[in-house]
Each structure stands twice: as structure tokens, then as C-alpha cells.
Amino acid sequence: MRLLKRAYLVLLEVLYFLWLVKNALIYFLSLIAAFLVIAFIWRIPLTLENITLFLTLNYEPHNVGEALCLLITLLVELSPIMAFVEVRTLSYDDKARIRAQHMRDHIVVIGCGHLGKRTAEALIDLGLPFVLIVLPEDRERNEYVCHLMEKDIPVIFGDATLTSVLTAANVEKAKAIIISINNDYLNPVIADRVRKLNPKAKIIVRIYNDDIADLLRKSGAADEILSTSKISVLEYIMGCFLDLITEVPRPFIIRVHESSKLVNMSVKEVENLTKMKILYILRGSEWVIAQGQTIKANDILFVYGDIPFMKHFLKLLF
């Protein structure tokens, strides 16, 4: 399965490159067709010896047809220069849109503030393909966006509330969309537009206002609504009495669906394969120690591990 997925990704890269040089490719194929037509009309024998002479430009033409074939061969051999020029003259925006259109099961990140930047960094560390959508002014104002452009990460510049911009990032084929803009009123609008374009995608939205988060959750436009005020309130209180350690990676809690590859795997097997630690399992209403347990559908796992280990965990699941 992984081999097929890898082959599929390689095929997408090949298609991306062919699309970049599509005009040169059309030109090349047209010359080959013209060569074959002229050779057929003038009855030029395409023996191995003649083909070699044509390719080395050592064929001595005896009529107009052979002269035309020799000229076409010269143009064919010069066509890679046209492809090189075509790629070099494409703007970054054109290349980013073309690459995005040839991506599948990728992640679309909307916004590149503090959260968006950290999300992009984590995705790079995990080796997960993603497309970033930011406003046009971020091209000049956001240094990290320039850094991503230099790393050949596709960045789409535009207003994410516009369907055309979302389509340019190929949200229709995306696995997940992370909306990290610092605007509680725009984020639900974007989530609704994304849901209409891709009903199957996982949509994660950052919201500050709890009331808006509740409305967004009820609307069904997003799958995960992360209210930063609700997430941080306990830490603010605990910080009044205790020394909180924020440098250590946080554990995360996941639900095991019936279709998950984790079902019927032992905790030890998962830990050996991923190097992640499963600390506890919430089964029904009871927390149980994970050691010695077999994972079941609808289990809720309390998992701990850093980004390098999370990469192995995601490979196991997907």
C-alpha cells in the first residue's frame, strides 16, 4: 500500500513537471508528427542507420523532403532549450498554483501568523505536503512566507473567503484544512466555503470567542474547533500556584474509529512501531492503564511523543 502511494506521489510530480513544460512538450510532439508525415509522403526509409544519421545531423539530403526532415530534427534537438526557458519564465505564483493543482490528500493552511507559522514548521518536520494561503501583503511583510517560497512550498496569495482562492489551493482534493487566521468572524465564513467545496475534508478552526466556537460546532462547518481561551484557562489558574513547564511536548488525546488501523493492535506493538507512548486508555467512562492492553474501536488514547516520533505514528495510520 505504501509503495502504491509512493508511486502515486511520483506520478503527480511527473505530471507537475510535464504541465510546467506543456508548451514545449506540444511543440516537441508536433515536430515529431511533422517528421513522420514528411517521411511518409517522401517515402524516406526510417531504418536504424537513417535515424542515427538524422539524430547526429550527418544525413545528406537528396530532395526537399529529406531536407525538411533534417531541419525538423535540428528543431527537435533544440526543443529542450524551449522547455528550460518556459520553466524559467514562469512566475512563482504560476508554479505554486500548478503544483497545488497536482497535489492530493494534502493539507491547506490558511493564515501565517504565530499559529500558522508553527503549524507550517511542524508539517515540514513531519514531511507532510501542504499549501499555504495568505494575503497578498504577506509577500512583503511576512518574512516566514518568503522563507517558505524559497523552500518551494506552494503559497497562494489571496483572500481565503473567495472560492477562487480556495480552488487555487486545491481544497477539493485536500485531506484537511487548518484555518488559523486571527479573526473570529472570518474563520467561520472560510470554514463554510471550504465545506461546500470539500464535504469530506477535515476542517480545523482556531477560535477565540467561545460563543462563536459553539455556533460553529453546531453548524457542522468544522470538525475541530479549538477555542484558545478554553484551552488555556486551566493553565492560567494552575500558573497562579505551580511552576508550569511549557518546553516539554504536550500529550494529545485521540479517538480510535472502527476503521482505524489501530483496532486490535496491542499497545506494545504500536509503541514499538512508532516510538510513541500510550499512557492511558479511556474505555467507556473508565480510564485504564495502557500497558498490556489491546486497542479497541471507540477507545480514547492518551498519547505522548515529539514530532519525530509522530511522523512514525502518522505513517502507521495513513
In tens, the pLDDT along 26-43 reads 888 898 999 999 999 989
How far apart are the C-alpha atoms of 197 and 207, rounded to whole Å? 21
Grid cell in block for residue 190: 472560510
In 3D space, the residue among 300, 279, 299 whose CA is nearest the CA of residue 290 turns out to be 279
| Residue 14 pLDDT exceeds 70 | no
pLDDT band at 20 (very low <50, low <70, confident <90, very high): low
Q: Give yes or no for residue 8 having a pLDDT over 60.
A: no
pLDDT tens-digit map of 87-124: 666 788 888 988 898 898 899 999 999 889 999 998 99
Write out the three cell numbers for 83.
522547455
| Identity of the highest mean pLDDT range in 93-102, 152-161, 181-190 | 152-161
pLDDT at 229 over 80: no
189 and 110 in contact (C-beta within 8 Å)?
Answer: no
pLDDT tens digit sequence for 237-265: 677 777 777 667 778 888 998 989 999 99
The residue among 229, 224, 165, 223 whose CA lies nearest residue 197 is: 165
What pLDDT, on the 0 to 100 scale, is given for residue 220? 78
Question: Looking at residue 90, what DSSP letter applies?
Answer: S
- Distance between CA atoms of 77 and 56, rounded to whole angstroms? 10
Mean pLDDT of 278-298: 92
Residue 128 DSSP label: -
- Determine phi and psi for 254, rounding to 5 degrees: -130, 150
pTM above 0.85, yes or no: no
Beta strands in 244-317 (DSSP E): 252-255, 277-283, 286-289, 300-304
Sign of CA dihedral 185, 193, 196, 228: negative
